[in-house]
Amino acid sequence: MSRNDAAPGTVTAPPHRIRRLLSLLYVQCLVGVVAGAAVGWLWPSFGADLKPLGDGFIALVRMMIAPIIFCTVVHGIASMGNARAVGRVSLKALLYFEVLTTVAMVIGLVVVNVVQPGSGLHVDTSTLSTEGLPPEATASHESFAGFVLAMIPDTLLSALTGHEILPVLVISVLFGFGLHASGEAGLGIARGIEKLSKVLFTLIRWVMRLAPLGAFGSMAFTIGNYGLDTLRHLFLLVGSFWLTALFFVLVVLGTVMRLNGLRLLPFLRYIREELLIVLGTSSTEPVLPRMMGKLQHVGASKPVVGITLPAGYSFNLDGTAIYLTMGSVFLAQALGIDLSLTQQLSMLAVMLLTSKGAAGVTGSGFIALAATLSAVPHVPVAALALIFGIDRFMSEARALTSLVGNGVATLAVAKWEGQLDEDRAKAVLRGDIPYPSGPEAGPVPGEKPVDDGPKATAGTDRDPVAAVG
């Protein structure tokens, strides 16, 4: 039957429309996630063997993160009007991080005490063993002083060859200040760094085309290796954690967006590609470069984005904060340990420190929980064996919540600094100004330089880094 002979009432999508839909990255990632879950369910052994696909994609992006952060932060600081603004932005960001992290932990604490997902399990402590847990979970964890000292790299260049974000941020801020204070001597270097950043964002755009493959491999590994049967026994914990994370995003982060004159749902639609990549890989690291570009495109100034977003990856892990309180109290309930309010609050105080060492990589929340349990005597570390099998199914919720939280935090700090173009932000979130994705993407006008106060004037050109994704 020819196309013209189709039966009456039959609706067929034009081939060009289907091709255009499949060319969208978020559609490709969604297909990858669904296909990976199907492969892992139908052929578990084969799905578990696909782990290198996800690991390889994350490794490709990770090698780009340090130089991109360095170029973005250095150029932003070197080109701004007032060096004191960096300290002001950092202080506001850290204050915001602490408040929102505490709110997330309190919400998790309330939910786990009301739902009590661990009650009735009656696990015998003598049957628990740390055998089978990852080595990081049973290792001795560094003190807060050690965490601070770890932010200082061994050499100026070693920060760019490591995998930690905070040392890169420290070196970037220092180098940016050095260029800013050097006047004409640093001007040529600053321009070179600006051009280098354009090249790096072009490379990351190419790498991101592999995101659907990485999401496919990671999801196939998760379902194939851990299986869906493990969810049956601890469904109440996993379900309540996902719902708590959803409540935090929609209510708490939605309120923050409203207070800053924006709406959350259009923002979630704007970063849908990044959300699907995080869902597939269980890690926020692969989307850090794209999030920096998208937040600049939406109207936040480069210095605010360059400082707030990378710092948030270590200091503002809202999903991990919820997980720590719910996970620790769940284990206590499962073991029949009755924690008083004072004991729970003391654990919360410890978590405010241990959560800061959890980077945005897969499984870091589990390690942070191990660090918490090893720092307080209430729950044995061996109890982690109870949730190790289902941790991966909560890792996605942790990563998604933390990603949205850091995006909202960056927009909030930019608004408080007067470095957010609200008209542009609303237009972008409405879809009037789409995020450019091709090599034809050019400069986007309207960037505001960081200055002494909220009355900063708009510059003539927005940095072209923001236009490349």
Provide the CATH number for the domain around residue 187: 1.10.3860.10
| Whole-number Å distance between alpha carbons of 336 and 152 | 42
What pLDDT shows up at residue 74?
A: 81
Which is more confidently placed, 159 or 331? 331
> Which range of residues forms the domain containing residue 155?
21-467
Domain membership of residue 76 (yes or no) is yes
- Per-residue DSSP letters for 165-234? HHHHHHHHHHHHHHHHHTTHHHHHHHHHHHHHHHHHHHHHHHHGGGHHHHHHHHHHHHHHHH-SHHHHHT
Tally the residues of the chain.
469
Least confident of 107-116, 120-129, 279-288: 120-129
Tell me, what's the pLDDT at 215? 81
Percent of the chain whose predicted confidence (pLDDT) is above 70: 75
- Cα–Cα distance, 398 to 363 (Å, whole number): 10
pLDDT of residue 462 exceeding 50, the answer is: no
Could you tell me if residue 5 is inside a domain?
no
Bridge partners (DSSP) listed for residue 300: 420
Render pLDDT for 58-83 as a digit per residue (tens, 0 to 9): 788 778 878 887 887 787 777 665 66
Candidate from 60-74, 111-125, 264-278, 337-351 with smallest mean pLDDT: 111-125
DSSP state of 251: I
Helix, coil or strand: residue 300: strand
In a domain, 8, yes or no: no
Q: Is the pLDDT of residue 131 over 90?
A: no
The pLDDT of residue 195 is above 60: yes
Q: State how far Cα 115 lies from the chain centre.
A: 27
Q: Is the pLDDT of residue 341 over 70?
A: yes
User: Who has greater pLDDT, 445 or 433?
Assistant: 433
| From 121-135, 238-252, 330-344, the region with the lowest mean pLDDT | 121-135
Compute the average pLDDT of residues 266-280: 90
pLDDT at 354 over 70: no
Most confident of 25-34, 40-49, 264-273, 455-464: 264-273
Q: Comparing C-alpha atoms, which of 314, 366, 52 is closest to residue 163?
A: 314
**CB within 8 Å of 31: residues ≥ 6 apart:** 22, 212
Number of domains in the chain: 1
pLDDT at 262 over 90: yes
Amino acid at 74: V
- Is a pLDDT exceeding 60 seen at residue 12? no
| Widest distance between CA atoms in the chain | 76
pLDDT at residue 239 is higher than 50: yes
Q: Residue 170 region, left (φ>0) first, then alpha (ψ -120 to 50), else beta?
A: alpha
Q: Record the tokens describing residue 151, joined without a space.
A: 């932010």
Whether 11 is in a domain gets the answer no
Both structure tokens of 95: 């204050």
Q: Give pTM, 2 decimals.
A: 0.74
Higher pLDDT pick, 346 / 300: 300
In a domain, 437, yes or no: yes
Backbone angles phi, psi at 459, to 5 degrees: -85, 175
Q: What is the pLDDT of residues 83-92, one digit of tens each?
A: 677 778 888 9
CB atoms within 10 A of CB 433: 17
Q: Is residue 245 part of a domain?
A: yes
| Residue position matching structure tokens 């499949």 | 22
Q: What is the pLDDT of residue 429?
A: 92
**pLDDT value of position 464:** 34
Examine residue 428 and state whether it is found in any structural domain, yes or no: yes
The answer to whether the beta carbons of residues 466 and 297 sit under 8 Å apart is: yes
Mean pLDDT, range 131-157, rounded to an integer: 61
Query: Which whole number is the average pLDDT over 196-210?
Result: 82
Quick one: average pLDDT of 181-190?
A: 78
Q: Would residue 1 count as lying in a domain?
A: no
Half-sphere exposure of 282 (CA within 13 A, CB side): 23
